[in-house]
A and B are shown apart, each in its own frame.
Chain A
Amino acid sequence: MYDKFVIKVHERDNVATSICNLDRGEVVGIYELQRSDFVGELKLRTSVPKYYKVALQDIKAAPRDLVERLRKYPKDSRDKVIAEVGESLVIKFGEPIGFIINCDVRVGEVVNLSYLLLSDELLSGLYEFYNESYEAFTSSSEEAPVGSIGRIVRDLKINLRAIQLRGLDLPILKKTHLIVNPLLLKVFPGCEVIGSLLTSLRRGTDVIIGNLADLDWFFVVREKEGERKDVVRNYYSLLKHYIDVSIEFMRT
């Protein structure tokens, strides 16, 4: 019997979910809901926070140029995106829920959402910094988990709430690359661009860096005759303008 375990839903799944905070190096049982039984065990290569996903197999990252191409030229259905990113798919509930970007994921590594496709320069620099500067201070004798963007961003505390974009307008977010936050500037003096944003975000949204992209960012539902997408779009455009004007008015 295992003290700690992760939950796998479907036999086809290549990720499982932790139900408590798990540390790197721990060996945990894999409990499959479909069978109501343990189906194996897993040695964790990274820490896995409660309710986060951990890879049960090695999963290759989708090539950077493919992701860039999908971002520029979205497909017209989810199935087409799935066909393009094939072996990078993350499967949970027996169905694809996203695909791996930024870097390959190895079995036992955390899988976490990323709003950013990181630049190659930053990605390689990040590993270098992690291995040389940070890893040297850790007491663990574990092999450095090269390839684990999840662990690096967690250990360096630059994931989740780390990078704030408060005060920036959406059009800026949507069209330009992001400027690094003070923490990353320490790590990479002079670095101006850390990557491309993969989806439009609301003002004030925390930008999460990880290794999993949402399939929904890469396809658009084309309008058919008679559908009134523009009505909705114009309405919310008007609403946003109305709110902005009101805020401006209150300030003055």
Chain B
Amino acid sequence: MMESKEVWVYVNEERGTIGVRSHVLIMPLVFCVNRVAERIEEHFKDVRWGEHEENRVVAALHDSGCCHIGFDEEVAERIILGVSSNPNVFAVLFIGLGCGQFCTKEWKARLYERNIRRVEHIVVQEEGYEDAVERGISIVDDWVREATKLKRKKMSLMQACDKMVIGVGNGASDASSGLFANPALGCMADYFLDHGASVVFSQTPEVLGAEKMLFRRVSNFEGLRSRSIREISSYIERYGSVKERKLLKKLSNIVRRAYLFKTSIAEEIGISEPTPGNIYGGLSTLAEKSLGTMYKIGRKYCISDILSYGEKIPRNGKLYFMDGPGQDLLSITGMVAGGAQLLIFSTGLGTPVGSIVAPVLKVTANEKTYKKLHDIIDMYIPIEELVRSRKPVEEYVKSELIPQVIEVISGRKAKSEELGQYDFSIRELWMKI
């Protein structure tokens, strides 16, 4: 029996979505017009709305949108489209230069297809520079007036979770992450999955070394727990459902490709994983880092499917793995582009990273980090206190951390938002010469 917790969220009847924020987004389609977007944002720099003043006009500045090759072009387009249609976005203004790869694409029509009506597209080479700024300000002004009238609606956590995607990730890990922070994240993931939310995790390089743990999550057969990778694979091949077999194949390919990629880079420029920061934080090997990381996905649910980077995440109360880079911001952006409305992030050494349209909550079990960086960390797990009282981390999460997450869903700002960390980045693999 679930507790009857309540949350306050923005309901968008037209789209059938709920938002935990209601931002007006300005999306430059190429870096050349970043300043245009920035000037429009500056015009509204003191404007906030919502009970906690949690909503604002945000410009997604980036250095992409031109000279992309193949894969990079596809990914950039997917990210722009995905972030713009995140349920936390009230309205979106696209700004193109005119000659960039994405400047004249039919963004409005594409968002209309997703039932998003408050969309405008300005092309600077057609409008003129100053005119584009002025027109942008006028459009955004209208939206802001509309947005300030919006009110959050009360609903049960179960109802809200039904339409929510929560992302889990980790960055700047140390030994405390795998011992307490990631297991705490895992408890939260299980809790929200229990309530019907979809949960997504990403950061493919961080599963290398923990394939066994990952492969075991393809099927809920208990006997897989003590088996080797080969045994797990052959069991699923023989007895698994078609879906499980497909999933295992996909996972094996992703892991294999990640290894090939990692080793071929390492051969050339000697990348060492874990990072020096991880090593000084007590994480000696890749497997040690990855095994600790895997606790963030909880213990109860099997992986339902694997999504490509930035792909739309189904809202059906299941656990998803998004194949994406390990870098914090890129992984967050990928999940937000997939539709995640909220992200919970574990950190050991501390990171202020945030997201352009979604709150990013940080949890640490490192006392020094919390004391030093309490202005960027939302939640702290007191290891000594838990050990001395012999309290399992699950209990602490339910009594102390979940209520904080629920408050952020209902509008209280996460530390990343208080700091103004509305970060955004577009993934690029290849050099632009």
Contact = CB atoms under 8 A, between A and B. Distances in A.
A210 B392 CA distance: 33
Given A33-B179, A36-B392, A112 B284 contact: yes
Interface in B146-195: 174-176, 178-179, 183
A19 B209 contact: no
A7 B179 contact: yes
Interface residues of B, number: 53
A51 B175 contact: yes
Nearest to B292: A93
Interface stretch (B27-35, B115-123, B235-243, B274-282): B274-282
A221 B267 CA distance: 13
B217 to A, nearest CB: 14
Nearest to A49: B282
A208 B287 CA distance: 18
Given A37-B390, A51-B174, A160-B280, A200 B266 contact: yes
Interface stretch (B85-93, B94-102, B254-262, B314-322): B254-262
Contacts of A51: 174-176, 281-282
20 contacts: A36-B390, A77-B229, A79-B230, A92-B288, A92-B291, A95-B213, A199-B266, A200-B266, A201-B270, A212-B285, A214-B285, A214-B286, A214-B287, A216-B287, A227-B257, A232-B264, A233-B265, A233-B268, A236-B269, A238-B431
Contacts of A49: 282
A215 interface: yes
A174 B266 CA distance: 11
Contacts, number: 141
A200 B270 contact: yes
B291 A93 contact: yes
The 9 closest A-B pairs by CB, nearest first: A51-B282, A51-B175, A113-B284, A214-B285, A97-B288, A93-B291, A221-B259, A200-B270, A236-B268
Nearest to A201: B270
A206 interface: yes
A5 B388 CA distance: 10
Contacts of A1: 388
Contacts of B264: 229-230, 232-233, 236
A79 B287 CA distance: 13
A47 to B, nearest CB: 14
Contact of B175 (A17, A173, A223, A224): A17
Chain B contact surface mostly: helix
Contacts of A214: 284-287
Interface of A: 1, 5, 7, 9, 17, 19, 31, 33, 36-37, 49-53, 77-79, 92-93, 95-98, 111-113, 160, 170, 173-174, 199-203, 205-206, 208, 210, 212, 214-216, 220-221, 223-224, 227, 229-230, 232-233, 235-240, 242
Contacts of B260: 221, 223, 227, 229, 232
Main secondary structure of the interface of A (DSSP, over half): mixed
Contacts of B213: 95
Contacts of A220: 263
B384 interface: yes
A19 B431 contact: no
Interface in B279-303: 279-282, 284-288, 291-292
Given A9-B178, A36-B390, A229-B260, 11 more contacts: A98-B287, A200-B272, A208-B279, A214-B284, A214-B285, A214-B287, A227-B260, A229-B263, A235-B431, A240-B268, A240-B269
B269 A170 contact: yes
Nearest to B267: A233
Given A53-B284, A199-B272, A202-B269, A97 B430 contact: no
Contacts of A160: 280
A224 B317 CA distance: 36
Contacts of B209: 78, 97, 215-216
B286 A170 contact: no
Given A9-B179, A232-B261, A215 B285 contact: yes
B271 interface: yes
Interface centre among B183, B257, B281, B287 (most CB of A within 10 A): B287
B289 to A, nearest CB: 9
